[in-house]
Amino acid sequence: MSITQETLHLIVNPVSGHGKGVEFVSQTIVPILEHLSISHQIYTTTSPGDAGNIGKKILLSSQNEGTVRVGIVGGDGTFHEFMEGECVSDGQVRWEVILFPHGTANALYSSLFPPALTPSPLQSHQALIETLPSPSHSEETLYSLLSLFSYLAKTLPVYLPITQTTLSSPTGAVEQLCSHVVLSTSLHAAILEDSEKLRESHPGTERFKIAAQQNASKLFYASVTLQSQSNLGVEQWDPRKGDWGLPYTIKNTTQPSQREITIEGPFSYFLTTSTVDRLEPQFVISPLTSSNQHEYQGYLYITIIRPLRDRFISQAQPEDRKDKLAKRAFEVVGQAYSNGNHVNLTLSEEDELRSFGLENKGKGEPVVEVFRCDSFEWIPTNDQRKVEGLDSGNERLVCADGALHTIPQGGSAKVKLEDKKNGKNFYVFA
């Protein structure tokens, strides 16, 4: 078929996930496209980073303008590489993306189509499914076609805010990063770094557990300034009210305005997303993130744990602090597997027994602080006043969609959402 404005460009990663992408394209996607006479072109990635090169080729063939429709058969990494290639190009096209979840975690897909949602989104596509060339597809196959069904049903695609991060040294910007799933520092970034070092000795997923144990009791020294241009300013989630409001857990600082607040560390957890509420189908780490932002520029949703706010740790004997911090980190972050319940956990206000157990939507402040804003700056402070009994981690480490980067000594990471007006926008059928 010749390439036209209507052509669907399919970028296929042959190795992601279980390595079944190529087979899925030939056996499932192509028969549907041919049956519906949809012009398509298949590109198979041949090496890491190739999805970005393919994206650039597609951009050239579309003469850098209009709407270009792309299908990604792969995981978050394939989408990331495709998107990163576009971030550095000068095109002004509107990318409309159909996702086929053929990765390992599929964070974006499972956020757009949460598994076990009732009623199943498949129900609304029943009439369409019955017209498919092979209507006996398994439930699992049909689930992986939901984004395609959304496109075929002519649903408006969802705007996908892209996060831009600038790593600077004291003398200026040194590196620009684009991400669409997650930008993190602290524990999340440290686990990724250490698990990579363990890949040879522990090829299975066990290495993530070991890396988590190695880092769960560390403190990361930094200060972060959150900014918002909106009239509402920076907002904080209050699980007790079930609503967003003015920041209320920031103490001992004079804030110049609601549009800018500074949060002092040390941190153990710091993660931001603008599109996904989960990093794996069941790991709902940012349950307030809403990707249904058709018209809106979008928010950065920020999930923070500052362990010294928790008397279970701050009032522990120095020799007990390590164990207690690790125990608490697993207890809290583990609740992300219970549909994101960690954001509902509150610190006990009065505790005569001094057990400092956590409550669910109790009277005290939440143990996890959740904010939304449109930009922030993470400044490693390398604080000399360390907390007795607790080790510090590398606060200069940054993870952008799984790739690790280091903030130069004395520098910072400035993070913001790409301006929707500047073009190069990504939309996803959901």
Ligand X SMILES: Nc1ncnc2c1ncn2[C@@H]1O[C@H](COP(=O)(O)OP(=O)(O)OP(=O)(O)O)[C@@H](O)[C@H]1O
Q: What is the largest CA-CA distance in the chain?
A: 75
* Closer residue to ligand X (CB): 67 or 141: 141
C-alpha pair distances (Å), 13 with each of 41, 76, 142, 319:
14, 11, 20, 49
Q: How far is the CB of 81 from ligand X (least distance, A)?
A: 6
What does the alpha-carbon distance between residue 348 and residue 408 come to, in Å, rounded to a whole number? 39
Q: Please, are residues 176 and 115 in contact by the beta-carbon 8 Å criterion?
A: no
104 binds ligand X (CB under 6 A): yes
13 binds ligand X (CB under 6 A): yes
106 binds ligand X (CB under 6 A): yes
Give, as ranges, the residues between 112 and 141 that touch ligand X (CB under 6 A). none
Stretch that binds ligand X, among 74-82, 223-231, 268-276, 289-297 (CB under 6 A): 74-82
Candidates 5, 26, 27, 46; binder of ligand X (CB under 6 A) is 46
Residue number closest to ligand X, CB atom: 77
Q: Please, are residues 93 and 66 in contact by the beta-carbon 8 Å criterion?
A: yes
103 binds ligand X (CB under 6 A): yes
**Amino acid present at 149:** F
What does the alpha-carbon distance between residue 224 and residue 234 come to, in Å, rounded to a whole number? 13
Q: How far is the CB of 279 from ligand X (least distance, A)?
A: 9
DSSP, residue by residue, 118-181:
SS-GGGGGHHHHHTSS-TT--HHHHHTTHHHHHHHTTPPPEEEPPEEEEEEETTEEEEEEEESS
Candidates 52, 55, 74, 266; binder of ligand X (CB under 6 A) is 74
53 binds ligand X (CB under 6 A): no
Candidates 45, 144, 228, 274; binder of ligand X (CB under 6 A) is 45
Stretch that binds ligand X, among 40-48, 134-142, 251-259, 263-271 (CB under 6 A): 40-48
Give, as ranges, the residues between 132 and 191 that touch ligand X (CB under 6 A). none
Report the candidate in 285, 289, 295 with the shortest Cα–Cα distance to residue 275.
289
Q: How far is the CB of 277 from ligand X (least distance, A)?
A: 15
Q: Please, are residues 409 and 379 in contact by the beta-carbon 8 Å criterion?
A: no
Q: Is 366 helix (H, G, I), strand (E, B) or coil?
A: strand
* Closer residue to ligand X (CB): 217 or 289: 289
238 binds ligand X (CB under 6 A): no
Interface residues toward ligand X, by CB under 6 A: 13-17, 45-50, 74-78, 81, 103-106
